[in-house]
Amino acid sequence: MKNAKDKKSAIYILRHFKRVDPVIHRVLEGVPLEPLRPVRGPKRYFLKLCRDIIYQQLAGKAAEAIYRRFVNLFPSQNPSPEKVLKISEKKLRSCGLSTQKMRYLRDLAEKVSKKELALHKLRALENEEVITELVKVKGIGRWTAEMFLIFTLGREDVFSFGDFGLAKGLEMLYGTKRVDSQKKVDAITKRWSPYRSYASLAVWYVKDGEW
């Protein structure tokens, strides 16, 4: 915990879950609880979205290796929409990118370059509005947009119903019978608001065996 403000935020979050869900409270007490912070600047938003696309459907180490090679193609490891559009397919393929992901990255770069996706406006939008904007890009679906909300925009009240890891973690925490329908998952996650993102982090910790 970096400062007094962070400690105060963590206390509020823990108090909330102690009141509304002792199961999540118990997990959060035993893991690092760092307040979510928004990444600053549309240039970094673009890089984060590139990373999110590259990481889709890949194991962590493989995805990280491809992402590192991709970033290293650009001066100062700083890909911009214009640079992504100019770089050759051969160089992109050399990173280990599939044809499909190259197409997704180019579509993202083109939409940002043409201002069809205004990254600088995302921070001011509501969650569903951000999702609506991001899914205009080929290869970005609701799940990727929700991860962007949590880990790039630092939104504290997001739960991704389509995330397999969250589904598995919920089963581990509450038992299969308590989470075997959308209605039951809704009932559990609704009471987490306005801190559903922190509860999601707790569930991921459990699923990954880090708690």
CATH class of 4-36+158-207: mainly alpha
Tell me, what's the pLDDT at 4?
Answer: 73
* Residue ranges of the chain that CATH labels 1.10.340.30: 42-151
What does each C-alpha distance from 148 to 12, 30, 86 come to in angstroms?
A: 24, 25, 25
When pLDDT is cut at 50, 70 and 90, the band that residue 136 belongs to is: very high
Tell me, what's the pLDDT at 172?
Answer: 96
Under 8 Å CB-to-CB from 52, ≥6 apart: which residues? 140, 144, 147, 148
* Residue ranges of the chain that CATH labels 1.10.1670.40: 4-36+158-207
Largest CA distance in the chain: 55
Residues taking part in catalysis: 163
Residue 52 tokens, joined: 């999110």
Find the DSSP H helices in the chain.
4-20, 22-29, 42-55, 60-71, 81-86, 89-94, 99-113, 127-134, 142-151, 164-174, 182-190, 196-207
What does each C-alpha distance from 38 to 7, 64, 151 come to in angstroms?
A: 18, 22, 7
Mean pLDDT for the chain?
Answer: 94
CATH 1.10.340.30 fits 42-151, yes or no: yes
What are 36-59's pLDDT values in tens digits? 999 988 889 999 999 999 998 887
When pLDDT is cut at 50, 70 and 90, the band that residue 32 belongs to is: confident
DSSP 8-state class, residue 193: T
Tell me, what's the pLDDT at 13?
Answer: 96
Residue 155 reports pLDDT greater than 90: yes
Mean pLDDT, residues 148-174 taken together = 96
